[in-house]
Structure 1
């Protein structure tokens, strides 16, 4: 007959508790699936788009504004702070496992009560106790919980870095767009003021003809209405110029006087080769990459939540020197050693672990949905901006042809006016049509330049540290 062995029984009970602790979670698996490039008909292979695309715009004053904005704007400081916080969080997670050592030193002086339950020679006296030691702890990551948490934390840090790059791209686009708007508004003001002068001359000629009995009153009313209309357009152009100028000051993080001191300049000559651009470059867009990193990080948090269902194993130890007499503190007999291995078994959590896993699963589904939404919006945004730029390029070509035709017509009519073969009012009218053609090509060119910047912003680009 086998003899009863209490140690074996204790091991069997511990093994049973260990198996009981590894309960199966009662939570549905994640339902979301990230969309693929192939499913959306877009090739996500990286294509060359410069991370600093705005430096290709040939305008020294714009480059000066961009340089100051990228160095001083608060939004980039916020993005950098979020990145540093995310990286610090990764280091914090990485430090949760492995060896931890804490040193301690203390001194206690105590008077023992005369009525203590101790021998009489130990009561009513003062005692000293000096202790110097080190507390050691080691947590084992058998189930990969910390590894999953660390992978998730580092993924969030990479996402924060990509979002910082996206903030930089946004700021460069915003400054470029407002600068183009400002320069366009300045030139538009000049054209409208010239048109205003021509309209006043037309009105003066109409008044003179009315006094001479050569025209009716309705013609004078028509010219007055045209002048009132151009006056309103001049005021609107002034408002547009002021708004763009104020926006530039805020975006470049400079006082308004710094913007006002900039000299006049024409719109930059900047042309994109549209056929080389397309949705295939979306694989480099920072917000898409960041959303994908958050999906991967959320998947790791699900793994970490699953590891909560398994035992947590720790090893604690204490090594100390303790003595009533300071002279004997470092003697061999003053040593004190303690070893405390521990296993924490999640036997019953009243649904806490299931709820935590369910929350992490929901976070994963949310991250997948956010990534899919970002990808769909990016593809549509890029397609819209690409087709818009193509249309504006064609419109600018047509506007240039119209301007050339109007210039020829204005020269022809002016020659007839000089020769006395046409009335001066005809010359003024043709000059106003020429100014309108110049305004049209200015507006179209401004929109085309802004569309180029918007398209490059929409396409995204490889971060500078990965080029």
Structure 2
């Protein structure tokens, strides 16, 4: 018996075989550079900023405060952290399979033995009726002969890494949404200031038109046109305010706040130009994008699962044992004569399962192929996102420059039209058209300023966040929910938990 046990222990502690494919990251063809990064990328911009706080490149204190609030209270992020905790706990469950299990299963029974049971000596009708006290220690240990447990651990660790990257992707997306909505509000504030100013000077123009009609120097047509312009501008104010209110409510949700209790003050100051963001080279995306990293880790997990299912075709050996005390009298239960034990291997050889094992393997291979396709698609999407963001920044820069020239020309045209109207050499319709053009160009300038900053946010998100890739992945610090029972809630001591069990009962 001892040589057999020693051989089994040797098999358990040394890798005899490990079935299934070993994971190797798939080859990916990447271009040497981005086609839209020409004449735009700065050499070394803001490379000292930490990876997590990329929004600080915009230098906006209110945006910084919103980001901190969103990180602490966003419910979607808390759910992603809980999923990561679930996956991390799964690695502990998988790791426990390497170790033996032992349970004490004490039992008190009243029994009657059979006088016809097999026995080494004649029972002659003797039997036992009475209590039975049994305090055994059950022992079980599966030997990882084919690497099934090791593959399960590989899969669990990859799942935990994928969940961590998904959590980082949720965090990145949430921060990008906050920044995008914030800059949209800032752009709308600029438009609102322009339109409200237009309402003011259009009312002044209406007053002048009304005075001219009373003096007999103007026509009622001019007055009606002036009234139309005032009403149109007031309608535009309401439409813009409606957009702003909806964006404000969206930020409230992102920050985990009831929209009824959230208010974001206006800021009509001019938006700054977008900051320089280092695009890097395309191969960086394979390391920087959390969604690409999550897809790659999911692929690694599914690869390991193929080995798990393949191991089901091979025999499994489990070392089992039981030792304890058995007696019909509690007084001598723990005496030496009450000791009983057994130990030995349990061998399970798969013979017939109705095709279940093969179906499991086919399922695992299909899951691997799906994960592989998702990984390659994630890479293509990442390149697409970066190219779109770079193209948007380049084109919006040229568009903004042209729009500012158009605004300057519209301002000059409005001055000329107003002067000619006051001199009586031009109809009021020319003033209206010039003022409309000026309003449109000023609003377009404010919109483009916001779009350029939003494009910068999109580029940062497309690149995977910040720039310091040497920083480890960390779990965001969120505000614990009092009702939470997981790792985000305050930990309770053992005796507090026991009291809670009795209260529930």
Same fold judged by TM-score > 0.5?
A: yes
In the superposition, relative to structure 1, how do residues 281 and 399 fare at CA in structure 2: closer, same or farther (>3 Å)? Answer: farther
* Cα distance, 1:274 vs structure 2: 5.2
Residue pairs, 1:24-423, within 5 angstroms: 34=26, 36-38=28-30, 50-110=51-111, 127-206=130-209, 209=212, 222-256=225-259, 259-260=262-263, 262=265, 264=267, 266=269, 268-269=271-272, 271-273=274-276, 276-277=279-280, 279-283=282-286, 284-406=288-410
Question: Aligned pair 1:465/2:472, yes or no?
Answer: yes
**1:413, 1:422 within 8 Å by CA — same for their partners in 2?**
no
Q: CA deviation at 1:387?
A: 0.3
Show structure 1 runs of 5+ residues with no match: 1-21
Structure 2 vs 1, CA of residues 414 and 211 (structure 1 numbering), >3 Å: closer, same or farther?
Answer: closer
Shift of 1:240: 1.1
Separation in 1, partners of 2:417, 2:173 = 49
Q: CA deviation at 1:87?
A: 1.4
Give the Cα separation in 1 of the matches to 2:279 and 2:129: 89
Which structure: larger Rg? 1
Could you tell me how far 1:392 is from its partner in structure 2? Answer: 1.1
For 2:12, the equivalent position in structure 1 comes to: none
Q: State how far apart, in whole Å, the 1-side matches of 2:321 and 2:223 are.
A: 103
TM-score, normalised on structure 2? 0.75
SS in 1 for 2:105: strand
> Could you say which structure has the higher helix fraction?
1
Q: Partner residue of 1:440?
A: 444
Measured after TM superposition, the shift of residue 371 of structure 1 is 1.2
Q: TM-score by structure 1 length?
A: 0.81
Q: CA deviation at 1:126?
A: 5.1
Contact map agreement 2:273 2:452 (CA 8 A) in 1? no
Contact in 2 for aligned 1:98/1:140 (Cα 8 Å)? no
Looking at structure 2, the residues matched to 466 and 327 of structure 1 have their Cα atoms a distance apart, in angstroms, of 59
Q: CA deviation at 1:287?
A: 0.5
Worse-matched range after superposition: 327-336 or 61-70: 327-336
**Secondary structure at 2:59 match in 1:** coil
Unaligned runs of 5+ in 2: 1-16, 35-43, 475-505
